[in-house]
Each structure stands twice: as structure tokens, then as C-alpha cells.
Chain A
Amino acid sequence: DTGVSQDPRHKITKRGQNVTFRCDPISEHNRLYWYRQTLGQGPEFLTYFQNEAQLEKSRLLSDRFSAERPKGSFSTLEIQRTEQGDSAMYLCASSLWASGRKTYNEQFFGPGTRLTVL
């Protein structure tokens, strides 16, 4: 399977605990995105990387959230001191982007990590 993968698929934690999610993008894709999706809503952009550089962060990404992509391949999203409001599906997507291209390359999404904070 050469699609975007995410691990774990489900995570249940207690309020105040730290959690970390992993995303493995499609191998040749240089851009990696994180989104959050709450029940009944569309995905909301959190942050994205081009290779190892984090180029954009949404205001939704509070100080308790941190994302890394140390070698430009997989990425991790950590939430510290989880709150019940963090309960959501966390989606990762990747795309191939090259400067000078005239076309936009669509984002391919992984299956998501569903976080439940008790």
C-alpha cells in the first residue's frame, strides 16, 4: 500500500496526558499537512510542512500542539496536557509540489487518528 498511513488509528487518553500521532506520507510527496475534524464538521487546517520546514500554522494550533517532520519524511503531531475539547479526528495529507508548476497537486489523505479524551 503506497498511500498515506497514520498511526495509531484510535487513541483514548485521560485529560492532562500527552499523546503523539505519526503520519507517513506518500514517499515522493514533499508536502505534508495536518488537519483536525470534529464531529459534523469539515476538516480544519492545522499546519503544513514542505520537506522538513514547517511553513504555516493555523491559529487553531495552540501552544500545546507541536508538529515535527525531522527528516522530511514522516511527521509527528504531539498534543500536551490534552483537554476534552481536543477530541477529534486528526487527518494527515500529503502532496507533491514543485515551484514553477502550473498545476496544483491535490492532497491525498490518510485514514486519520481518532482521539478521545476522557
Chain B
Amino acid sequence: AQKVTQAQTEISVVEKEDVTLDCVYETRDTTYYLFWYKQPPSGELVFLIRRNSFDEQNEISGRYSWNFQKSTSSFNFTITASQVVDSAVYFCALSDPGGGADGLTFGKGTHLIIQP
């Protein structure tokens, strides 16, 4: 069975601080995909990044960066110089290689609060 653990239920930082959201996953598949989604107060899930299990290169997109470590089954997300608009619930998710035959498996999410 697949599982995604986001141990941090809530994180609160002051604007401009860097913050890292942790994600640990479990799967028996050798090929899989990992995702991060953002859910602002409006409720709509916004896709942020997809990473496949064969690509362990870290990725940076503006203030966002992702650290994928297969050896520790982790896919952590860092926001640099956080802004109030980054306040949201962030979900890490895992899928199988067949296009999501069982749908995505989500973690419980981390509520990120950026204080001005």
C-alpha cells in the first residue's frame, strides 16, 4: 500500500523567512511520480511540481525548490524568502506509473502561515 506522510501539521513563519515542508512516502513500485499541490483558502488545488522516481535532480523554480532523495524516500519543498501570498495548505502526493490507476495518494497536508 502506498502512503504519504507530512509530519508538520502547521508551520508559522514571519515573512521573508525560508521554510521547508517535509514529505516522506512509502511505495513498493519502482517507478512512481511525486507531486506537490497548493490549496489556498479558496479551496482549489493548484499543481506545483511533478517528479518521477528516476529523476533525482533537485529543481528550482523562482522562490520554490524541491529536494528529492530516493534513499530516504523524501521529497521536501522549500520556499525561500516567504511571502504572505504563500499562505496555504500544501499537499504532497504519490501516484503509480500507470497514470494514476488508483488515483493520487495525498498526505494530510501542511498548513503554512506566513505572518507579515
Q: B32-74: contact bitstring with A at CB < 8 Å (1 yes, 0 no)? A: 0101010000111111001010000000000000000000000
- Which A residues are CB-close (under 8 A) to B46? 109
Residues of B in contact (CB 8 Å), total: 27
Q: Does A85 contact B (CB under 8 A)?
A: no
Contacting pair B106 A43 (CB below 8 A): yes
B interface list, Cβ under 8 A from A = 4, 33, 35, 37, 42-47, 50, 52, 91, 93, 95, 97, 99-109
Q: What are 30 A-B contacts with C-beta separation under 8 Å?
A: A35-B104, A41-B109, A42-B4, A43-B91, A45-B103, A48-B100, A48-B101, A56-B101, A58-B102, A91-B45, A95-B99, A97-B99, A104-B33, A104-B50, A104-B52, A104-B97, A104-B99, A104-B100, A105-B99, A106-B35, A107-B100, A107-B104, A108-B47, A109-B37, A109-B47, A111-B42, A111-B44, A112-B43, A112-B44, A114-B43
